[in-house]
Copies of this chain bind each other. A is one copy, B any other.
Amino acid sequence: MRSPQSRNGGDTLSPPPPPPRNNNFPPSPHDIRFHSTLSVHKLKRFNSLILVFRIATFVFCLSSFVFMLTNSRSSPPHWFDFDSFRFVLAANGIVSVYSLVEMVVAVWEITTGATLFPEVYQVWFDFGHDQVFTYMLLAANVAGSTFVKTLKGTDTCTVTSAFCVQSAISVALGFAGFLFIALSTAMSGFRVVCFMLNGTRFHL
C-alpha cells in the first residue's frame, strides 16, 4: 500500500513495507516490472468496480426519470404541476446522462489503460461532479418523498391513488440511484487523494 507507482507522469518509487526502507535501493528492473504489473492490475479492478456502480446508478436514475415522466394522464394531476416532482425528474435525468458519460469514460480507461482527458482534469472532473450530483440527487429525492407524504393526506391521493403510488416508486428508485452514486463518489474521492499525494491515480 505504501509504494506509489506510475506509468504516465509520476516518478516516485518507494520500497515495499516489510523490509527496512533503504535495503533495496535502487530497485532492480524486476522489482519495477513486478510493481508496475500489480499496480495496473489493481487499477483495472478498481475501475471495474467503479463501472459497476456507474451502471447501477444509470439504471436506477433512468428508471426513476421514466416513472416520473410517465406519471401524467389525460386529467390532472400531472407531475409538472408540482415543483418537487419537477426537481426529482430533472435531478434523475441529469444524473442518468452523467452516469452514461462516466460509463464510457470507465470503459475507455479499462480498455486502453489511460484516462480519456489528461489525468489531473479527469480525477477532479469525476470527483467534483460525483460530489455535487450526489448531494443534488439526495436533495431531490428527499424533496420528492416529503411531498409524496404531504400529498397522501389530501384529495389528490384519495381520488387518483395511482399518481401517488407511481410518484413514490419514482422517488424510491431515485434513492437507490443515490446509494450507488454515493459509492462512486467515495471511490473517485480516493483517486483524487491518490493523485494529490503521489501525482498519479495509481494507488499501489
Contact = CB atoms under 8 A, between A and B. Distances in A.
Interface string A16-42: 010011100110000000000000000
Interface residues of A, number: 36
Interface stretch (A65-73, A95-103, A114-122, A192-200): A192-200
Contacts of A139: 138, 142
Contacts of A112: none
Interface in A75-111: 83-84
Interface stretch (A7-15, A47-55, A155-163): A7-15
Given A26-B22, A138-B135, A189 B193 contact: yes
B2 A197 contact: yes
Contacts of A138: 135, 138-139, 142
Contact of A203 (B11, B13, B14, B197): B197
A149 interface: yes
Contacts of A189: 186, 189, 193
A11 B18 CA distance: 10
A4 interface: yes
A197 B194 contact: yes
Interface string A147-172: 10110000000000000000000000
A124 interface: no
Contact of A12 (B14, B147, B193): B14
Contacts of A199: 1-2, 17
Contacts of A186: 189
Contacts of A14: 12, 14
A193 B2 CA distance: 11
A41 B15 CA distance: 26
Nearest to A26: B22
